[in-house]
Amino acid sequence: MSKQAKTLTAGELRRALDYVATRRHAARNRAMLMSMYLAGLRVGECAALTYGDVVDSDGAVRDEIRLTPEQTKGRHARVVFVSERLRKELATYVRAHPSANPSRRLFYTQKRGSVGFTANTLCQHFFYLFRRAGIEGASSHSPRRTFITNLAEKGVSVRVLQSLAGHRNISTTQAYIDVNDAMKRRAVELV
C-alpha cells in the first residue's frame, strides 16, 4: 500500500505561503496552493483550469467552477464550490494576471509560449515548493487531503465530503481523512 500524502498543519500551510511570498511567481503559486487547499482540487484539475472556468464575462470570480470530464481524474464532470475566501484569493490573482481569452489556462508556467502546467509538471512544482519550504513529506496531494480532513474535523459528513471531493466511492473519501488526537479528544467529550 502506498503512503498517504501528508496532511498540512496550519503552521505548515503558513510556512508554505510565507515561502511562496518570497519567490518569483508568488501570486500564481499562492492562488494554485489556495485553490487546492480551499476547494479540494486535484493537482490535475488545478492545472487544467481556464480563465473561463473561473471568471465570468463581467470579470468576477464565479462561486462555482464546473469541471468537464476532460479536466477530472475519473472523467466525470463535477462542480467545485468556491468559498468567499477562495474567491478573494482568485480575484487578487486575476487582477494581477488578467486575460481576455476565456480558453487560456489560468495558471501559466515560466516557459514562454507555454499553454500551462500539466498534472505531472504541477506535481513536480509542488514537490519542490514544499521541500524548499522545509515541509517534510508534503506533496501536491497534501492541500487536497488537508481540505478533506479539515472539513471532517469540523463535523462535515462523509457523504458531503465525497461529493465535494468528486469521489465515486465513499471508501476513497474515508481513506483521505487523517484522524488525529484532537479529533479523538473531542469525540470522547461527546459521550
Per-residue pLDDT at 92: 97
Residue type, 128: Y
pLDDT surpasses 60 at 185: yes
Question: What ranges do the domains of the chain cover?
Answer: 10-143
- Taking residues 54-81, report their average pLDDT: 94
Element (H, E) at 34: helix 26-39
pLDDT surpasses 90 at 4: no
Q: Quick one: 10-143 is in which CATH superfamily?
A: Intergrase catalytic core (1.10.443.10)
Average pLDDT, the chain: 92
Whole-structure pTM value: 0.91
Per-residue pLDDT at 156: 93
- Read off φ and ψ for residue 179, nearest 5 degrees: -80, 130
Per the listing, cell 475566501 goes with 85
Q: Comparing C-alpha atoms, which of 100, 116, 138, 98 is closest to residue 48?
A: 116
Q: How many Å apart are CA 94 and CA 119, to the nearest integer? A: 21
pLDDT surpasses 70 at 1: no
DSSP state of 22: T
Q: Identify the band that residue 114 occupies on the pLDDT scale cut at 50, 70 and 90.
A: low
Share of the chain above pLDDT 70, in %: 97
pLDDT surpasses 70 at 112: no
pLDDT surpasses 90 at 3: no
Residues forming the active site: 42, 73, 141, 144, 167, 176
Give the tens place of pLDDT for each residue, 160-173. Answer: 999 999 999 999 88
Q: Comparing C-alpha atoms, which of 178, 181, 153 is closest to residue 8?
A: 178
Query: What SS3 state is found at 170?
Result: helix
Per-residue pLDDT at 74: 84
- The β-bridge partners of 105 are 50
- Taking residues 110-119, report their average pLDDT: 76
Per-residue pLDDT at 167: 92
Element (H, E) at 131: helix 119-132
